[in-house]
Every structure is written in C-alpha cells, then in structure tokens.
Structure 1
Amino acid sequence: MRLRTVLATVTAGLAAATCLTAAGPANAHADSQAGHDSHDSHACSSSVSIDRFSDALDKTTYDGTFVGNFSALAVDGDGSLAAVSDRSSLFSLDGRTLAPKAVVPLADESGAALDSEGLVVDRDGTRLISSETEPSVRRYSRDGKILDRLPVPDELLVAPAGRAVSNGTFEGLTLLPGGRTLLASMEYALNGDSAGIVRFPTWQRTKDGHFELGRQYAYRTDTGLGVPEVQATPDGRLLVLERGFTSGVGNTVRLYLADPRRATDTSGIESLTGQDDVRLIKKTLLADLVNCPSLGATAKQPQPNPLLDNIEGMAITGYSKGRLKVLLVSDDNQNAVQTTRFYHLRVRV
C-alpha cells in the first residue's frame, strides 16, 4: 500500500515450508558464506540475521502482468510461494528461484479490483485474501473464483460505515496453529481509539468450514508506525512487522515477537484509550532492520540503510528448534524510486 506520512496449519504449512531452500535467483545479491547466525557480518541483532536479498523481480512482467506491488506472501502446499499484489493479482512463485509460475486476477463480487493486502493459503489449498478497501476477507479458489466472504465487525469498516481510516485496515492475515483461528491486523488505529493502538480481529472456523467472528485483541505500535504484516509462529505467538516512512529520510521497519495469548478480548470495548484494565498484546523487539548490514544494496531514494524499502509482506518458510526462516518482500508501488526486493532472514524466537 502507499504509506501516508503462514502458515496454513502447523502440520501442512510447515511441511511445505521445509521444502523451501535458501537458494535464490542467479542475480540475487548474496555472500557465499551467508546464512549463519555466528557470522556477525550478517547480524541485524542478537535474534535476527540476514542471509541475502534479491532484486531479481524488480520492474519485470509475467504473462502481461506487472510483477510487483507485493503486499503478502504465503507458503503453498507444494513448496511454492503464493504472493498477492495490492493491484488485485495473485501470483505463484517458485519456492527456490522466486520466478513467477502463474498469475490470476482477483476481483470482488461485482467484478471490481481489490486492494488486496493479506494472504493465507488454507489447508485445502484455497486462498484467504483480505482487502483494505471495505475492509473484507474473502476465500478464493486457486483460479481466483470467490468461494466465501467472512463477516467483519461494524466498527472496523471504513468511515462513515465504521470507524476505520481509509487505507489503514486489514494489512496482515494469518492462521494460528491448528488452523482453527484466523487473525487479521489493522494497520492503523480506529477513530476514537488512542493513536498507535491497533486492533487484531479473529475468526473461528466452524464445523462446516466457514469462519465466524471471534475474539479481538489490541496491539500498540511504536510512535508513527503502522502494522503491514503479521505471521503466526508454531507456538501461537506472532511475528509483527511495524513500518513507517518519512519523506527525505526513508523507511523504518521493525520486527517484533508478540504474544496475544493473555491479551484482553477487546471486541466489546468501544474506545481503546490505553486504560489499565485492558491487557494489550505484549511485544518484544527482535530487530530494527536499519541495523542490518546493507550487503551491497543500493536505494533509489533516501534511506537510513540502502537495504531498506517499503517492506510489506512476510512468510515463515522454515522452522527448527526455535529458529525460523523468514522471507520478506517490499511493495514497490510500481514506482520508479522504489524496489521489489526479497529478504531472506533467520530469526531466533
């Protein structure tokens, strides 16, 4: 999306994730010894290191469709990657090379394009995709046919229908372990809530396979930042991306580990003002990506670290003994001064 100032189940998703390797496209910027947490030259923090990045897909096309505007990633059951563009396209990417293999257009019930932002590959291979226009969450088949639409709480609708701000709703989408709970992350606070306190609604899977509204949680972002993506870890915690942009300075991107399991259900609370009786989702900083090594990256606009760009999508592509392989992607907004860039991280949780 334009800034204003995976796991399907633990069993199926991680099984697919383990099929992915660290290999990247031939022209990926890489160090032959990258990928080991012991290499200080690749450390972003004590918990996060970066193996390499790739600009191989920047400003390319596939089957007549611009490859970019990526807002979400997910691991598919065959080990490939699903990637959604906020210009209403759903891509399939090779899990090793990231090369596009297929693309299908997305639309709403009237045939209009989506501002598609969040993506989950469900256990049956269908795609749950959020759009921040209304906002909405719909289930699609692999070929882009609408199969279902989930209910959305009235207060989360964009004003005047609800209290959400335009271009600040369902950015992230993830299934919690077990595959029964779907969680979305709002990017910005509702009108009437304190600045920086964003809501994470959930849905519970019913016996017939549909989703009904569930609990809701509150999360406090750092000052001036929003939440572009969230991903569930195998133990029920969340990786949360926080992001912001300052003209003439560049992007801020931070990765947090958050725990919603003891947070207050805020679905019945009209205004969140930081009151003491509301337990927010606890979060711990894993890394501020400005501290990652640049690895030779260049930026087309001012950045505090030339490696940074408008990072918006995230998927957990592997897990072993508390260590995650995490893939990030930036949304270039089809803009000449931004880059479609993939980042291969190792995260210790």
Structure 2
Amino acid sequence: MRLRTVLATATAGLAAATCLTAAGPATAVSTGTTNSRTSNACSSAVSIDRFSDALDKTTYDGTFVGNFSALALDRDGSLAALEDRSSLFDLNAKTLQPKRVVHLADENGADLDSEGLVVDLPHARTDSRGGTPTATLLITSETEPSIRRYSRDGRILDRLPVPSSLLVAPAGRASSNLTFEGLTLLPGGRTLLASMEGPIAGDTSGAVRFQTWTRTKGDHFRLAAQYAYKPDASFLGVPEVQALPDGRLLVLERGFTSGVGNTVRLYLADPRHATDTSGIDHLTGRPGVRLIKKTLLADIADCPSLGATAKQPQPNPLLDNIEGMVITGREKGAYKVLLVSDDNQNAVQTTRFYYLRVRTTPAFRSSEARG
C-alpha cells in the first residue's frame, strides 16, 4: 500500500478499549554465533540476524525494483515478491537478485494495486501432461478489493467472491487503500485468509475484519467465516499476516507519524476461538464478541540498528515502511521470517529486507481488549 501520512502525535497511545470481549548498497550480517544472536535480540521472542538494502533503487529488465507489498516462498525455494504497482518478481532466495518479472493486470488490462500473495499448489490440479500439480498465484488488489488466481505467466484463471460490506464505498463500507493487504493459506491448504488493513464504516470498535474462504471442488473458493482483530492504536493497520503450522498467525501492525517515522510491531495471533463476525453488521462494542487473541512478539523499533541508516526521521534507523512477510523455514526452535519494506518509489524511503528469528512460545500475556 502507498501508505498515507498520518498526522498523529508522537505520544499517541493505545486506542480506547472496546466493549468487545477478546477471547546492493548495504547489507549488515551477524556472526551467527549464539552470543551474537543474543545481542541481536529485539525481544525475548524475536532476534534479527541481518538486513539487506541490495535492491534499493535498482531496476531489472526495465522495471523498477521496489514497491514490495508481499513475499511468498515458491515451490523451487525461490522468493516471489509482489509490487503494489502490478509487477511480480522471482528473486534468488540467497542473493535477492531478480530472475524474472511478470506484469499483472485485471480483466480490462488495467494495473492492480496488488498487495497480498499466496503461491497455491492444490492437490487437485495437474499440468497438461497429467504430471506434477501446477502452482498458481492468488493475488489481492486493494482497488475493489479483489482476489484473483493467476497463472505463472500472468493470465487470470479465477476470481474469488468478496462480501459486499468489504467492498470500497460506495459499493460497500471499506475505505480506499485500507482493504485486503495480507493473504495466507491456513494449514492443510483448505482455508484462505485475507486481512483488511483498516476498519470498515460502522465498525466503531476500531477492529479490522479477517475474511476466510474454504476451498471447493475444482479448486474454487467460497466465502467462509470472518473474524475481528484489534490493532494497537488508531493509526496502526494490518499490512500482512502469515499462518503458522498450528493455525496461529503472525500479524504485522504498521503505521506512520509525520516527523517521527514508522511504527512496526509483530504479533502472534490466534483466531481459533474468535467469534465469526460474518453475520454482524457493525462491530461497536457488542458484548460477547470474541476478538482474535494477540500476543506482542516484538516492536521492531526495539531491534538493534545493525548499522542501518534512514533517509527520514525514524525511531530506529533500521525502520522503514515494512509491509511484506514470509516464513522461510525453521531452525533450532525458531521460525526464520523475512520482512520487506515498501519504498513507494520514494527517495526518502528504502527497499530493505529483514532476516528475523521468531519463537512463538514466549511467556507473554495476551493483549486483550475488555469492556
């Protein structure tokens, strides 16, 4: 998303609790030793190994490399990196160097405000020779919003239904640039989840909607349950969400304060006991509605800067407009998580990749809104 400047004060605190009941230029590298990882701690649950600005303000095959809004791990181990200006890159997972770029468009040939990405490998689909299942791409656009299925060469294969309330006004109750940002498949590949970045009109609780779909025969998706998630503050939205093997979610919250910089926090969230809000028109503090429970894993501002520099004021020079996230593996009890910032093709922002290690069983207390 091309993040809008939010005129908030530097002392903006948490949003009021609701009555809902919560149920390359530069690369910094650590030495990789235990002591080094400890010194690179952002919190007791998260550490940062390194960052890379190698792709900042570069081009590939005539296309600007940046504006990244989503990452996904491809079947061959490479990285799929989605730009919010309708381009999809294949990146070498080790060097980050682009290997291929594909232009995306809607049914009328218009560019997308492409934000969320899933590489889908359903068991039911085979290639034309009856061999290995063919991976396709599920991609959101914030414009309508929409989710389309694309072939690897950018052809539209399918389009998913979207609840009318989540459409951008006047068709629905969503605000432009605050719709589907995050996209992930839950364990087993049967359920798709998309996160709205901001609340829809009438949801005065400040909660955002997480919409799900269930896979049907023929690898289509039908609308399923919907859940409510409460960001920390009124100026924070949800740019990305990634599913863990146990059904919990990693959720990014992000905001921007003019003259101060970005706020980026990583949460562990559990939707498994949350209320299905698909039949609830307005989230306005109704008793008995259970929000998705969330636990703060780390505020990225608390990470060591590792020598990073910022082109505009930031609470930590490591920070930028972080928008994409993917789980790339697991090692020694921690998930390896890669983040990327969206530089908006702006001279004072940076395309930066962040290599984190995330432990999801910290002895933290869940953040729950109670009324």
Deviation readout 1:104-123 (Å, 9 max, x if unpaired) = 00000000000000000001
Is residue 155 of structure 1 aligned with residue 154 of structure 2?
Answer: no
Does residue 180 of the first structure (1) align with residue 180 of the second (2)? Answer: no
Question: Quick one: distance in 1 between partners of 2:32 and 2:327?
Answer: 22
Identity %: 77
Q: CA deviation at 1:348?
A: 0.2
Using the size of structure 2 for normalisation, the TM-score is: 0.87
1:209 matched residue in structure 2 = 219
Matching of residue 289 in structure 1 with residue 300 in structure 2? yes
CA–CA distance in 1 between the matches of 2:29 and 2:337?
A: 16
1:154, 1:162 within 8 Å by CA — same for their partners in 2? yes
Q: Does 1:66 align with 2:56?
A: no
Cα offset for 1:45?
A: 0.1
Deviates most, 116-125 or 181-190: 116-125
Q: CA deviation at 1:321?
A: 6.4
Give the Cα–Cα distance (whole angstroms) in 1 for the partners of residues 239 and 221 of structure 2. 23
Q: Which runs of 5+ in 2 are unaligned?
A: 7-23, 122-133, 361-371
User: Which residue is equivalent to 1:138?
Assistant: 148
Query: Contact 1:57 / 1:341 at 8 angstroms: preserved in 2?
Result: yes
The yes-or-no answer on 1:189 pairing with 2:187 is no
* Separation in structure 1 between the aligned mates of residue 87 and residue 165 of structure 2, nearest angstrom: 28
Contact 1:196 1:226 in 2 (8 A): no
Query: Residue in 2 aligned with 1:17?
Result: none
Q: 1:298 to 1:27 in 2, by over 3 A?
A: closer
Residue equivalent to 2:117: 119
Aligned-partner Cα distance in 2 for 1:144–1:307: 34
Quote the offset at 1:91 in angstroms. Answer: 0.4
Partner of 1:14: none
Give per-residue Cα distances to partners, 1:318-345, cap 9 Å, x unaligned: 0256420000000000000000000000
- The amino acid that maps onto 1:152 is V
The alpha carbon displacement at 1:2 in A equals 2.0
1:33-84: per-residue Cα shift (whole Å, max 9, x none)? Answer: 36x4873320000000000000000000000000000000000000000010
1:200 match: 210
Please give the per-residue CA displacement for 1:289-339, whole angstroms capped at 9, x wherever unaligned: 000000000000000000000000000000256420000000000000000
Aligned position for 1:32 = 31
How much is the aligned-residue C-alpha RMSD, in angstroms?
1.3
Alignment correspondent of 1:94? 92
Give the Cα separation in 1 of the matches to 2:45 and 2:260: 26
**Corresponding residue number in structure 2 for 1:227:** 238
The 1-side partners of 2:39 and 2:332 are apart by: 23
- Radius of gyration: which is bigger? 2
Contact 2:145 2:168 in 1 (8 A): yes
Preserved contact between residue 71 and residue 80 of structure 2 (Cα < 8 Å) = yes
Check if 1:3 corresponds to 2:3.
yes
- Hey, what does 1:340 align to over in structure 2? 351
Q: Which residue of 1 aligns with 2:129?
A: none
Mapped to 1, the partners of 2:160 and 2:35 lie a distance apart of: 41
Q: Secondary structure at the match of 2:269?
A: strand
Structure 1: state its 5+ residue gaps: 6-24
Aligned with residue 178 of structure 2, among 162, 168, 178:
168
Query: Partner residue of 1:314?
Result: 325
- Alignment deviations for residues 241-278 of structure 1 (CA, whole Å, 9 cap, x no partner): 00000000000000000000000000000001132211
| Structure 1 residues 37 and 120, CA gap change in structure 2 (3 angstroms) | farther
Q: What letter corresponds to residue 269 of structure 2 in structure 1?
A: A
Q: Does the 8 A contact of 2:268 with 2:295 survive in 1?
A: yes
Q: CA deviation at 1:204?
A: 0.4
Alpha-carbon distance between aligned partners in 1 of 2:164 and 2:333, rounded to the nearest angstrom: 38
What letter corresponds to residue 76 of structure 1 in structure 2? D
Q: How many residues align?
A: 329
CA apart distance, 1:194: 1.8
Q: Aligned to 1:274, what secondary structure does the other structure show? A: coil
Question: How far apart in 2 are the matches of 1:2 and 1:194?
Answer: 24
Residue-by-residue CA offset, 1:163-196 (whole Å, 9 max, x unaligned):
0011000000000000000000000000000253
Q: Aligned partner of 2:174: which letter?
A: A
2-structure distance, mates of 1:164, 1:322: 39
CA contact (8 A) 1:173 1:230 kept: yes
Question: What TM-score, normalized to structure 1?
Answer: 0.92
User: What letter is aligned with 2:3?
Assistant: L
Contact 2:47 2:357 (C-alpha < 8 Å) held by counterparts: yes
2:258 equivalent to 1:239:
no
